[in-house]
Structure formats: C-alpha cells, structure tokens
Structure 1
C-alpha cells in the first residue's frame, strides 16, 4: 500500500457522510474536500510566511497583481485579477499606501481613475515571498510527474469552469 492508498481525513469525512446520508452520492467530497484541504493548508502556510512582513494574503494578492505587470494598474484592474471586491481593494490599497508598499495616484488622463503602483519596498516583499511560496507549491506537487501535473491542471480548469470560476 502506498501513502496515496492510505485513508486520509477526507476519506473519513466522506465515509461519515455516506453513513449519515446513505441515500446521497457523497463522491464529490472526495475531490472537492481535498481541493479545500489543499487550499486551506497552502493558505495557512502563506499566512504564516506573510506575518513576518506584517501583511495578509489579500494584501499580498494586491502587491502580486502589481508586481506581475510592472506598471500602474487601475483599481478596477486589480479587482478583476485578485477576485477581491472594489471596496476591499480601496481599503487594502489605503493600508498598503500608508505603509509605503504601494502608491495611489489619480490618472493624468482621467482624474476619476485611481492608479495603483507598487513601491520598491512592496516589490521587496513580493521578491522575498514568491520564491518561498513557489517552493512550498513545488513540495506539494513533488510526487506528481510532469504529465500528471498537466492532467491535474486541465481537470481542475474544467471543474473551475463548471462552477463559474
């Protein structure tokens, strides 16, 4: 028996639901329960790493959105790439601005538009955390072959599309 054949927490939860509700097909729990578990563990690790910088995951997501494009973005663009609400982006960008991690300024072309730009200090946070996060992700996927990774990504894309992601 390999470790992947060893029952895990999700197996136990799925079995308990099956016993409590034998008339229902609880098979989706085997997939989505594991996705949720992986997301929770991964997010928890990221949260612990970000504590050293005094920021949370949503703040890191905003800094990451700005670091990826290396140019100022409209607040609405950050909304679409982070899946955070407009109100959250406003609150987060205000906080990050006060701490010198990003700059908020009005667009020269349209004064109603707020542009967000990462500062050198904000980039240092991303530069410090991105390699650590990728290493954590690599460790999580280390038992999968390249073909298995591609297959898993394609399957998860289908699931994401099915739920409207």
Structure 2
C-alpha cells in the first residue's frame, strides 16, 4: 500500500460518507510533481539555480527570441511576481538581460546572455536524461497511454493549454 492509498484508507475510516477516490489519481500526480521538482532542485542547486529559474531560462532558449515578462509568465505558468523575482536574480547573475523595445519604451524584453545560453545548453541534456530515467520502468505503450491520459486531464484542468 503506497502513501496515497493509506491517505484514502484513513479518510474512509474518518469520513466514510465521502468519496475520496480522486486522491488516488490527483494525489499521486501531486506527489510525482513534487518529487520531480525536488530532484531537479537538487541537481540544479550546485549551479545556483532553482527549477523555476531553470524553467524561465529554458523558455527563453526555446523561444529563440526576446520575450516580454508576461509571455514568460504564460509559458512557465508562474505568477508575475515569481517571474519578476527570478528575473531580478538571473539578471544579477548575468544570465539574462532586460532591454527596452525600440518601438515602445514601455515594453521590456528579456533575452538570454551568452552565459545564460551556455548554461542552458550544458544543463538541458542531463535534465532530459534524468526525466527519461523516471519513465524507464514503463513500456513504450504505457508511456504513450500515460501521455494521452495526462494530456486529456490537462485539457480538463486547463482548457487554455490547447
């Protein structure tokens, strides 16, 4: 019996009138996400980065162009305040630059510095390998089914994702 099953069993004893079976899926999803974030943070800590900062840097690298802070908020699903805090730190560390737009001085654009691009390029392949190792115990068919089910669930939870 795993942790989530114990939680459901405990609720069944305390509140037998409630169907807490969604915890069997969603509780596990939350625990998996927390475990992956913790593992990522452990791997990134020697580089002085958090998972959130790495997500911001990789969003800029993927885009291949400067992004407005609001665009970074959208693609990382982090709050505007979190993005501002991360940008302040990454700017101080010389990994990103904020510049004004030539067309509209109210617009701030964020770009990776050469040091930021080098850092992302160096860390991204091991990061993907670490994530791939998590799925090693599943067959290709199981991975495909999990991808399909999670995509469907994400669409239910966040229809704007599509």
Same fold (TM over 0.5): yes
**Distance (Å, rounded) in 1 between the aligned partners of 2:4 and 2:122:** 33
2:72 aligned with 1:78: yes
- Partner residue, 2:23: 29
Note the C-alpha offset of 1:124. 2.5
Structure-2-length-normalised TM-score: 0.90
CA RMSD of superposed structures (Å): 1.5
- 1:162 and 2:156 matched: yes
1:103 corresponds to which residue? 97
Structure 1, gaps ≥5 residues long: 1-6
**Deviations 1:45-65 (Å, cap 9, x if unpaired)?**
111111111121221111011
Name the SS of the counterpart of 1:73 in structure 2.
coil
Are 2:67 and 1:68 equivalent residues in the alignment? no
Q: In structure 1, what is the equivalent of residue 139 of structure 2?
A: 145
Q: List per-residue Cα deviations over 1:7-28 (Å, max 9, x = no partner).
A: 2121212211122211111211
Cα offset, 1:91, TM superposition: 2.4
Deviation at 1:128, TM superposition (A): 2.8
SS of corresponding position for 1:52: helix
Superimposed CA distance per residue, residues 88-139 of structure 1 (whole angstroms, 9 cap, x where no aligned partner): 2222212211110011100111111111001121122222322222122111
Q: Secondary structure at the match of 1:105?
A: strand
Q: Is 1:51 matched with 2:24?
A: no
The offset of 1:84, in angstroms, is 1.5
1:113 paired with 2:110, answer no
